[in-house]
Amino acid sequence: MQKNRRKKKKTSFFVRNSRQFYYWLTGIVIVLALLFFFRTTLEMYYYVLKGRFQKADYSYSQLDAKRSKAEVAKIQFVLSEYYGNAFGIDLSRHQGEIKWDSLAEMTERIPISFAFVRATRGVLVQDPFFGTNWEKLKEKNILRGAYHYYDVNKNSTEQAHNFLRTVQLEKGDLPPVLDVEDIPSEQSLKLLKKGLLNWLKIVENAYQIKPIIYSNDAYFIHHIADLDLSSYPIWVANYNLIKEPLHERWTFWQFSEKGIVKGINRNFVDLNVFNGDISALRKMTVE
């Protein structure tokens, strides 16, 4: 008598391949998630943790020895040419821990009237010294402003929210600043410009004040010249020996990246001049 044999059900070609597809898709998603995690971790280390372990402080003479005579002459020229204007500095982790009791003047004749402080970078990073710098400037009665270093390859909305989470503006603070300096490698200039305007709009709506946009003269001229920034204050960097920057509508001019200021010994500090006196500068602040 023949035994009844059960026939094994064969898995269809479609089902087998569908399973393989989902296995591969799951694997790819996991790999991408791990790559994103490690990339983010490295960014956090570089921009946050690294700021805590910088080199030891320099003396004034050591910093001065690292500057050329032409640089010193240029700084003196601008200080003299704009005597009576408001002068200021900008700070980030690169300046390390500041001796706040000593910080007061650009030179013996010119006080520090304002300071811009880096608050955030990209979508995740907060400057490790922002909180201290922000509070100390208030204690020193120095007009303060916060800036965001724009990552030209990252989402503009997420970057705006990173800044908004970090910075609480108060009455008497300077407008927020968008700092853009790089050329995108993962998107077009057209999309970059759209993102810049998006960041400015989000931040303006949140604080109810027009943000300042910062870049160097060459960037304004060659990369975003067609961007309509007519309603925004301009902060321009140009380190050449000139009477004023090339941008005709400048509000702030960063004229040197090698300033030496008492109380800051970790590194040089950027020097800036406002296109007006301290009374005009106060009119720009948050009401």
What residues are annotated to the active site?
Answer: 90, 181
Cα 224–Cα 238–Cα 256 angle in degrees, nearest 5: 140
Burial of 36 (0-12, 13-18, 19+ CB in 10 A): exposed
b vs e for 66-96, b when ≥16 Cβ sit within 10 Å of the residue's Cβ?
ebeeebeebbeebbeebeebbbbbbbbbbbb
**Which two tokens mark 3?**
């035994």
**Which two tokens mark 284?**
């720009």
**Which two tokens mark 92?**
């980030």
Say how many C-beta atoms besides its own lie within 10 A of residue 269's C-beta.
Answer: 26
Contact 114, 144 (CB under 8 A): yes
Contact 129, 97 (CB under 8 A): yes
